[in-house]
Amino acid sequence: MDPILLGLTCVICAVAFYLLFIEGKSWRNSRRTDRRQGAANRRRPANAAARRHQQQRAAAQAPRQMTESSFESLSENSGSESSDTDTGSKPASDTPKKKIGTKKAQKLAEKERRKEEREAEERYRETMRKKDDEEIKRRKEAEAKEAAAEAAKAAAEEKLRLEQEAREQAEYERLKVTFSIEGEGVGVQQLDEETEAQLNADFIETIKRVKLISLERLCVKFDMKTDVSYP
């Protein structure tokens, strides 16, 4: 082969190889740059999400970081609002609000909770007291009504009794005029055992001796009633 042609061929191959090497290096650099850009783009949303999460946590914890002025308005030792004077006080916006710690905020919140519990307990006691007063009032009214009803019933019964007695007395007076007393006998005498035994013996001895005696004579002798009624 011609040495000149061979030399040209080698030069062309060397140039082509060099160009391919440069092109490949450039392509690799471009790929590397693209990868870095993609990684940066992927990290950016993650950082943004982290920032949003931090902002949300800060917003959630913000109500806990209350100022002393706001808690003083809630505490039971807070004074009444001062009236505006001619000299005037500084505007509220000019007063710096100092943030308080979590422990103090918890103490103030606990104090406010206890105050609300005391107020609720007082309201409950007042409600129960009113309920007891109403119950006592109703019970007294019921007892008064019951006593009045019993008194009225007793008065009605007494009236009926008096009317019954009056009717019975009138009936007795009406029948008494029809009674007539023809004679008066001798009442029964209370005798002791010895006297009664002696009387019985005399009674029997008289009947044996006389054999026959009328009842009237026997009654006269022994002081007995002559009129005997049988049932």
* Domain residue spans of the chain: 1-60
Q: What is the pLDDT of residue 159?
A: 92
Q: What is the mean predicted confidence (pLDDT) over 201-227?
A: 67
Name every residue whose Cβ is closer than 8 Å to that of residue 222 and which is 6 or more positions away in sequence: 199, 202, 203
Confidence of residue 121 (pLDDT cuts 50, 70, 90): very high
Longest dimension (CA), the chain: 217
Q: pLDDT (tens digit, 9 = 90+) per residue, 40-73?
A: 666 555 555 666 666 666 655 544 444 444 445 5
**Buried b / exposed e across 7-31, counting CB within 10 Å, b at 16+?**
eeeeeeeeeeeeeeeeeeeeeeeee
**Residue 5 DSSP SS3:** helix
pTM of the model: 0.28
